[in-house]
């Protein structure tokens, strides 16, 4: 990784998965190693959104996301479930290993969502891209891959931090400062940070021209 500070550095957590094949699964039933109760399977609509986000990330990152079966003894590094833990949603950051061993550290990479929002409408996680629930899934997946918040929104957040004028969702979905419409993909700083961790995949290599009329219509 670069030792030179630039905007992506404000998103880098000190742990990440040390592999370019990252498995994921959707909790089915059986034991769970965290402190949450009411753990259950998420809806098919939310599952489809998670798959779509991971497929988008594969465009930019030298990572293959592989869905695996979820059992009591074997499941993905990233694991998605409903529980009574979050008011809306939260995620656990990666640990130093790439294994699931039945210890409490197995919560690393887990995403919990509130059952009330595991649906469409009212900021639900099964809503189409362009809605708040979908952007929140991108945010939580960012945490599970090693991204932190760009400013001290919570007591455990640490620097370096983004300048105030850059701390918004037009630059990073990890921001709590919403600007424009809800993001439908990871934003520029998110992609830069994740490419520092996992490497970049060649995509549209060569002379490719992109344009937009307004940042507020396309974020």
> Tokens 């370019």 belong to which residue?
20
> pLDDT tens, 33-77?
888 999 999 999 999 999 999 999 999 999 999 999 998 888 999
Q: Could you tell me the two tokens for 127?
A: 């809503």
In this prediction, residue 6 carries a pLDDT of 74
What distance, in Å, lies between the first and last C-alpha atoms of the chain?
27
> Tokens 């986000």 belong to which residue?
53
Using the CB atoms, write b or e for 152-191: b if 16+ within 10 Å: eeeeeeeeebbeeebbbbbbbbbbebeeebbbbbbbebbb
> pLDDT tens, 131-162?
999 999 999 999 999 999 999 999 889 889 99
pLDDT for residue 210 is more than 80: no
> pLDDT tens, 3-23?
334 789 999 998 899 999 999
- Strand runs (DSSP E) across 49-182, as ranges? 64-67, 78-83, 89-91, 110-114
Residues involved in catalysis: 140
Domains of the chain with CATH codes: 7-217 (3.40.390.10)
> Where residue 207 falls among pLDDT bands split at 50, 70, 90?
low
């Amino acid at each position: 990784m670069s030792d030179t500070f630039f905007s992506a550095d404000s998103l880098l957590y000190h742990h990440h998965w040390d592999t370019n094949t990252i498995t994921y699964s959707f909790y089915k039933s059986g034991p769970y190693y965290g402190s949450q109760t009411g753990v259950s399977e998420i809806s098919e609509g939310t599952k489809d959104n998670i798959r779509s986000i991971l497929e988008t990330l594969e465009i930019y990152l030298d990572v293959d996301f592989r869905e695996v079966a979820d059992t009591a003894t074997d499941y993905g590094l990233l694991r998605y479930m409903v529980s009574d833990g979050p008011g809306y949603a939260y995620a656990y950051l990666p640990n130093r290993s790439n294994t699931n061993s039945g210890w409490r550290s197995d919560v690393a990479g887990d995403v919990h969502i509130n059952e009330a929002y595991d649906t469409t409408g009212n900021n639900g996680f099964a809503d189409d891209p362009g809605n708040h629930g979908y952007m929140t899934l991108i945010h939580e997946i960012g945490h599970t891959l090693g991204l932190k918040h760009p400013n001290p929104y919570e007591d455990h957040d640490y620097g370096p931090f983004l300048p105030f004028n850059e701390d918004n969702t037009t630059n990073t979905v990890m921001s709590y400062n919403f600007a424009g419409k809800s993001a439908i993909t990871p934003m520029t700083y998110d992609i830069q940070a994740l490419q520092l961790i996992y490497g970049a995949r060649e995509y549209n290599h060569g002379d490719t021209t992109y344009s937009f009329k307004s940042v507020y219509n396309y974020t």
